[in-house]
Amino acid sequence: MPHPHEHLTRSPLFQDLAPHDLDAVLAAARRHAVRRGDVLFRQGEPAHIVYMLTRGEVKLTQIRPDGREVVLRYVGPGEIFGGIAALGHGEYPVTAEVAEAGETLTWDGDALSRLMERYPRIALRALRLVIDRVHELQERIVELATQRVEQRIARALLRLARKTGRKVQGGILIEMPLSEEDLAEFAGTTLYTVSRTFTHWEERGIVETGRERVLIRSPEGLEAIAEDLATSDNPSAF
Amino acid sequence: MPHPHEHLTRSPLFQDLAPHDLDAVLAAARRHAVRRGDVLFRQGEPAHIVYMLTRGEVKLTQIRPDGREVVLRYVGPGEIFGGIAALGHGEYPVTAEVAEAGETLTWDGDALSRLMERYPRIALRALRLVIDRVHELQERIVELATQRVEQRIARALLRLARKTGRKVQGGILIEMPLSEEDLAEFAGTTLYTVSRTFTHWEERGIVETGRERVLIRSPEGLEAIAEDLATSDNPSAF
DNA sequence: CGCTATTTTGAGATGGCTCAAGCTATGTGG
DNA sequence: CCACATAGCTTGAGCCATCTCAAAATAGCG
């Protein structure tokens, strides 16, 4: 096994802890392999456990009474999730489904609370992390309230690219199975509109898509759409 | 002057501190009267100061490049704001404007950080508060992504009623000047649609509105609309 | 090699926005 | 105290971006 602190130091949450204290944190954690499709917890369940993803990809969704699903966040390696509930109120506000196989570290919520009282820096770090999430969520609210679907899809893609994109020759590949329906639920639209948008973009050479696969050929083109700049190459399109 | 801890104990942030420690916190704070229209800070300014509102009402908005404004939150007495930025990154992500005159307590962000290291419970409390905000923001994202304008307006009103509503005979009065434009920016729509919606609701006896004034006559009616229950009294309306 | 999940495309309906214009309180200065 | 200005509210007409529903094409998977 590699250095046991490897995964922990990767997370901002534990960044300014001394190695000795990291041991204490690690000792309280458990390790689990997770597979695509696994549901780690469901919206409404009592929240006891805090997760950290070390490999893979997890999708956090909320399901409405009418069955419509909204993706609130894609979680990548090094990120914490579920903690937000386990430290706050009693229930998970979202459902966590594994989008790509990987591995998690888990803590008992109470144990983590105690660690935080002992190591206030963890609490402060956690606070900063959650604050970043607030900013991100606020940004999405503003987007949903003011932007058109095409711009929102562009932004959703760029966000995913930043998180799980890998540079390959010819563009940036989103390294996780991402269906058009997933993307629609992330951008707050329908799979039909995503499909049509992709068709247009493909004609303009901005993306290349396949079954659950997206390759961004022109990040600049996407940015331009996201920022609502006049798209000089074809102003009348759309 | 009344008991000096009065305002502090009102805030959940300092709830489980001993009186002696409260003194330390209060010593680091400054008090200011604020008037309607005052801008406490603007989006993009470097964030040094954390605010707590003890009286009045403050509106937090984000303004888009195109000039459109989105209301992200109404802050009522006892609530903290700005802290989210002062503890995290360097800039305020929103603009804070006083919607109703009142009074603030302010701290220097660094000073509060130090208080948190000294009293980890404050950090944990803060974490819980921010977590609550995350839940609220997530809820709004789901709303914006899935609900119709009428439902969103209903929910926006109910949220405001919970925060600043006062029971009067005949209903619940929102105790702050609230224009239809404000409400539109809060619900993610236009003032025209809000006006039309109010007209319908008024005909159905659900609300009573005046210049910057909203009285909710039938909270149940509003809830029904918010939950998208079939409105039995007039299913074909709208 | 057939089954199922994913994607595409068409046609049609519509919710909500935009723009334009008039209306009505509220406050202000003469 | 009145008349005028201003901010807020209402209403109409038209449009169009996006959703809905239906159906076919495609691509993996077992």
Residues 30-59 of chain B whose Cβ lies under 8 A from any Cβ of chain A: none
* Angstroms from A225 CA to nearest CA on chain B: 14
Does the residue A237 lie in any domain? no
- Residue A131 sits in the same domain as residue A90: yes
Please tell me which of the candidates B64, B87, B145 has its beta carbon nearest to residue A144: B145
- The C-alpha atoms of residue B57 and residue B37 are separated, in whole angstroms, by 11
Determine the pLDDT at residue B51.
95
Do residue A137 and residue B141 have CB atoms under 8 angstroms apart?
yes
Does the residue B232 lie in any domain? no
Helix (H) or strand (E) holding A44: none
Q: Are B156 and B71 in contact (CB under 8 A)?
A: no
- The C-alpha atoms of residue A226 and residue A222 are separated, in whole angstroms, by 6
- Residue A180 sits in the same domain as residue A119: no
More confident residue, A69 or A233: A69
Please tell me which of the candidates B85, B133, B188 has its beta carbon nearest to residue A145: B188
Q: What number is the average pLDDT over the span A32-45?
A: 94
Give the domain extent around A170. Answer: 149-226
Do residue A70 and residue B117 have CB atoms under 8 angstroms apart?
no
Do residue A72 and residue B127 have CB atoms under 8 angstroms apart?
no
- The C-alpha atoms of residue B13 and residue B128 are separated, in whole angstroms, by 9
- Residue A97: closest CA among A216, A179, A203: A179
How many angstroms is C1' of C12 away from CA of B146?
A: 22
Please tell me which of the candidates A62, A130, A146 has its beta carbon nearest to residue B138: A62
Please name the nucleotide lying closest to B148, CA to C1': C15
Determine the pLDDT at residue B7.
65
Q: Which two tokens stand for residue A146?
A: 């003011």
Strand C contact at CB of residue A199, distance < 7 A: yes
Digit-coded pLDDT (tens) for B185-213: 999 999 999 999 999 999 999 999 999 99
Does the residue B19 lie in any domain? yes
Digit-coded pLDDT (tens) for A107-160: 998 888 888 888 888 888 888 889 889 999 999 999 999 999 999 999 999 999
- Residue A55 sits in the same domain as residue A168: no
> To probe the interface with B, which of A89, A137, A223, A228 has the most B CB atoms within 10 Å?
A137
Strand C contact at CB of residue B43, distance < 7 A: no
- Residue B134 sits in the same domain as residue B158: no
Quick one: DSSP state of residue B14?
Answer: G
Q: Are B51 and B83 in contact (CB under 8 A)?
A: yes
Do residue A131 and residue B62 have CB atoms under 8 angstroms apart?
no
Please tell me which of the candidates B66, B117, B141 has its beta carbon nearest to residue A144: B141
Does the structure show a pLDDT above 70 at A12?
A: yes
Determine the pLDDT at residue A88.
61
Q: Is B128 on the interface with A (CB under 8 A)?
A: yes
Q: What number is the average pLDDT over the span A178-197?
A: 97
How many angstroms is C1' of D21 away from CA of A230?
A: 33
CATH number of the domain enclosing B213: 1.10.10.10
Query: Residue A237: CB partners within 8 Å, gap ≥ 6?
Result: A200, A204, A231
Contacts A120 to B, Cβ<8 Å: 116-117, 120, 123
Which among A143, A160, A188 is the end of a domain?
Answer: A143
- Residue A95 sits in the same domain as residue A18: yes
Digit-coded pLDDT (tens) for A70-111: 999 999 998 999 977 777 668 999 999 999 999 999 999 888
- Residue B20 sits in the same domain as residue B56: yes
Does the residue B107 lie in any domain? yes
Q: Is B114 on the interface with A (CB under 8 A)?
A: no
> To probe the interface with A, which of B60, B127, B136, B148 has the most A CB atoms within 10 Å?
B127
Q: Are A43 and A63 in contact (CB under 8 A)?
A: yes
CATH number of the domain enclosing B89: 2.60.120.10
Determine the pLDDT at residue B101.
93
How many angstroms is C1' of D22 away from CA of A154?
A: 28
- The C-alpha atoms of residue A2 and residue A43 are separated, in whole angstroms, by 35
Do residue A93 and residue B141 have CB atoms under 8 angstroms apart?
no
Determine the pLDDT at residue A121.
85
Do residue A87 and residue B128 have CB atoms under 8 angstroms apart?
yes
Query: Residue B172: CB partners within 8 Å, gap ≥ 6?
Result: B161, B165, B166, B215, B216, B219
- Residue B64 sits in the same domain as residue B159: no
Which among B78, B112, B143 is the end of a domain?
Answer: B143
- Residue A105 sits in the same domain as residue A177: no
Please tell me which of the candidates B70, B94, B142 has its beta carbon nearest to residue A145: B70
- Residue B111 sits in the same domain as residue B49: yes
Query: Residue A110: CB partners within 8 Å, gap ≥ 6?
Result: A48
Does the structure show a pLDDT above 50 at A233?
A: no
- Residue B25 sits in the same domain as residue B139: yes
Determine the pLDDT at residue B65.
83
What residues in chain B have per-residue pLDDT under 70?
1-9, 88-89, 229-238
DSSP strand pairing (A165-168 vs B95-108)? unpaired
Does the residue A46 lie in any domain? yes
Does the structure show a pLDDT above 70 at A230?
A: no
A52-61, A77-86, A191-200, B64-73: least confidently modelled range? A77-86
- Residue B172 sits in the same domain as residue B127: no
CA closest to C1' of D21 belongs to A192
Does the residue A95 lie in any domain? yes
- pLDDT tier for residue A9 given thresholds of 50, 70 and 90: low
- Strand D-contacting residues in B 177-236, CB cut-off 7 angstroms: 179-181, 191-192, 195-196, 198-199, 209-213
- Residue A102: closest CA among A7, A220, A223: A7
Query: Residue B41: CB partners within 8 Å, gap ≥ 6?
Result: B47, B49, B82, B92, B95, B96
Q: Are A83 and B131 in contact (CB under 8 A)?
A: no
Please tell me which of the candidates B64, B72, B132 has its beta carbon nearest to residue A138: B72
- Residue B116 sits in the same domain as residue B159: no
* Angstroms from B189 CA to nearest CA on chain A: 7
Which among A110, A143, A176 is the end of a domain?
Answer: A143
Helix (H) or strand (E) holding B21: helix B19-27
**Nucleotides of strand D lying closer than 7 angstroms to a protein CB:** 8-13, 17-22, 27-28
CA closest to C1' of C7 belongs to A195
Please, what is the average pLDDT of chain A? 89
Does the residue A204 lie in any domain? yes
User: Count of residues for chain A?
Assistant: 238
Number of domains making up chain B = 2
How many angstroms is C1' of D10 away from CA of B66?
A: 26
b/e map B9-48, b = 16+ CB within 10 Å? eebebbeebeeebbeebbeebeeeebeeebebbeeeeebb
Does the residue A67 lie in any domain? yes
